[in-house]
Amino acid sequence: MRKIVVALVVALFALTLVGCGGGEEEVPAEATTEPTPPAATVEEVTVADKSANDTDLTPAPFPSFTTTETPAVFQEKLDRGRAMLILFYDPAQQVTGATRAEVDAVMNDYRGLIDLVTFDIGGDANDPATLAAVTYAAELGAASTPYVLVVDGGGFITWRSKGYTEQGSLRREVERATR
């Protein structure tokens, strides 16, 4: 009886190893000549989080718009060498009001040195201004609102922030972009 139990345990252990991939055998080279077609998959759309983090603080060129021409509101400021603070917001979100108050306070101190460009992406989906704002947000990597970008006079994005942004950080980044 003991031999049967041991044989049964060994057999179960062997099946477990084979089922988990522990007993894989090497496939001969001639067996792999015909590639197997990949299984049908649903294409996933991923939104890249392009917001700054502690390890990526190098300025990046202001992106060229791939689906549209660079909007005039951006292009005229780039042509004149003006720094920009770009704010994407949705007024339906509670944090938007707090972020807008922080932005306004900083803009009062730096008026004339940097231009504020705002886009409401929470409006009517059929409104051309809202459609344009959503397109610009997608082009610039603004996956959530509020989203703040600072572009210096040389046309480089020097800072990105998603969500609530405090006045101290904004001041520091606006100062850096307007030097």
Residue 169 backbone phi and psi in degrees, to 5: -65, -45
DSSP for 17-48, written as a single string: HHHTTTTPPPPPGGGGSSPPPPPP-PPPP---
Cis preceding-peptide flag for 146 (omega within 30 of 0): yes
Rounded Cα distance between 58 and 80, Å, is 23
Helix (H, G, I), strand (E, B) or coil at 174: helix
Helix (H, G, I), strand (E, B) or coil at 60: strand
Question: Is the per-residue pLDDT at 105 higher than 90?
Answer: yes
Rounded Cα distance between 70 and 66, Å, is 9
Question: Average pLDDT in the 152-165 region?
Answer: 91
**60-177 maps to which CATH number?**
3.40.30.10
How high is the pLDDT of residue 147?
95
pLDDT in tens, 61-86: 676 655 566 788 888 888 889 999 99
Question: Average pLDDT in the 126-140 region?
Answer: 89
Question: Is the per-residue pLDDT at 13 higher than 90?
Answer: no
Question: Is the per-residue pLDDT at 162 higher than 60?
Answer: yes
What does the block give as tokens for 29?
């080279």
Question: Is the per-residue pLDDT at 43 higher than 50?
Answer: no
Asked whether the beta carbons of 145 and 126 are under 8 A apart, the reply is: no
Question: Is the per-residue pLDDT at 111 higher than 50?
Answer: yes
Taking CA atoms, 81 is separated from 37, 93, 98, 178, in Å, by: 53, 33, 29, 10
How high is the pLDDT of residue 175?
94
Rounded Cα distance between 16 and 86, Å, is 58
Greater model confidence, 48 or 108: 108
Helix (H, G, I), strand (E, B) or coil at 75: helix
Task: Name the pairing type of β-strands 83-89 and 114-120.
Answer: parallel
pLDDT in tens, 140-158: 889 889 999 999 998 899 9
Report field, pTM of the whole predicted structure over 0.75: no
Question: Average pLDDT in the 87-111 region?
Answer: 93
